[in-house]
Amino acid sequence: MDLNLKDSVVLITGGAKGIGAAIALALGREGGVPAILDRDAAAIEKLQAELYRENIRHKAVLVELTEFLDSSRAVEEVGQEFGRIDGLVNNAGLNDGVGLEHGSPQRFVSSLKCNLVHFYTISQAALPFLKRSKGSIVNMASKVAVTGQGGTSGYAAAKGAILELTAQWAEELSSYGVRVNAIVPAEVMTPQYSDWLKKFERPEQELRKIVDRIPLGHRMTEPEEIAAMAIFLLSHRSEGITGQHLFVDGGYIHLDRRLA
């Protein structure tokens, strides 16, 4: 299926590694132009080497998303260079373990800035471009928004809010032809997830316990599978879809756990 994404310029926050990098590569392979917004210079350099090898036209902007003016500057830089922005993937975030027992008001607010506030900031800055292009916003949520996790109040609050913002923005922007959807991953093997596993005394044993609870194939979801859903939602092939929460999780959340 041709997704008609050729020359479409898409902002991807946290786009230098993990799910964000997979989306950038998938978009580029469809002929789109990923605009990677990230604060990790080394990760940007590594991804760019791959993008150059595949002759994928792209732009990378080093940005601190928690700084409002820096976020707006990054969006304007992309808009001025290409004259258009056709899509936005709000992907950046960190499960930072700011809980109720082991946290503080200051750390909780910081967690919201890291995981939620920039979704609003970037989306608002990109909105004039998206209205002109009748573009698409894809918000990356998490199973934690639905299942809870414990010990991560800031991240859970942010991801729950992202689901509600998706519905709110879809309604608010429908008159402009701008669509807004959320992807809800569960267990995806990213560099962040790998680092979390390493905290356990027996990482392989812990991973086996997790995948045993995933009904479809008893395996982790691949970043490329999340990317495939993202670029479909960015494309005009999904013009009838807005305000939706799409679960790409191997049935982890909604299928009866006894199947595992």
Based on the fold, state whether residues 47 and 168 are members of the same structural domain. yes
Q: Which domain holds residue 29?
A: 9-186+223-248
Based on the fold, state whether residues 199 and 131 are members of the same structural domain. no
Residue 4 lies in a domain: no
Based on the fold, state whether residues 170 and 234 are members of the same structural domain. yes
Number of CB atoms found within 10 A of residue 83's CB: 10
Model pTM? 0.93
What does the longest C-alpha to C-alpha distance in the chain come to? 53
Residue with more model confidence, 163 or 190: 163
Residue 255 lies in a domain: no
The answer to whether the CB of 244 falls within 8 A of the CB of 179 is no
Does 63 score more than 70 pLDDT?
Answer: yes
For the chain, helix, strand, coil in percent to 5 are 50, 15, 35
Taking only the tens place, the pLDDT of each residue in 184-218 is: 998 888 888 888 788 888 888 888 888 888 888 88
Catalytic residues: 155
Based on the fold, state whether residues 111 and 133 are members of the same structural domain. yes
What total of structural domains would you count in the chain?
2
CA-nearest of 145, 152, 154, 67 to 111 is: 154
> CA-to-CA distance for 40 and 17, rounded, in angstroms?
9
CA-nearest of 132, 55, 21 to 87 is: 132
Give phi and psi for 242, each to the nearest 5. Answer: -155, 150
**pLDDT tier, 231 (very low <50, low <70, confident <90, very high otherwise):** very high
Based on the fold, state whether residues 87 and 178 are members of the same structural domain. yes
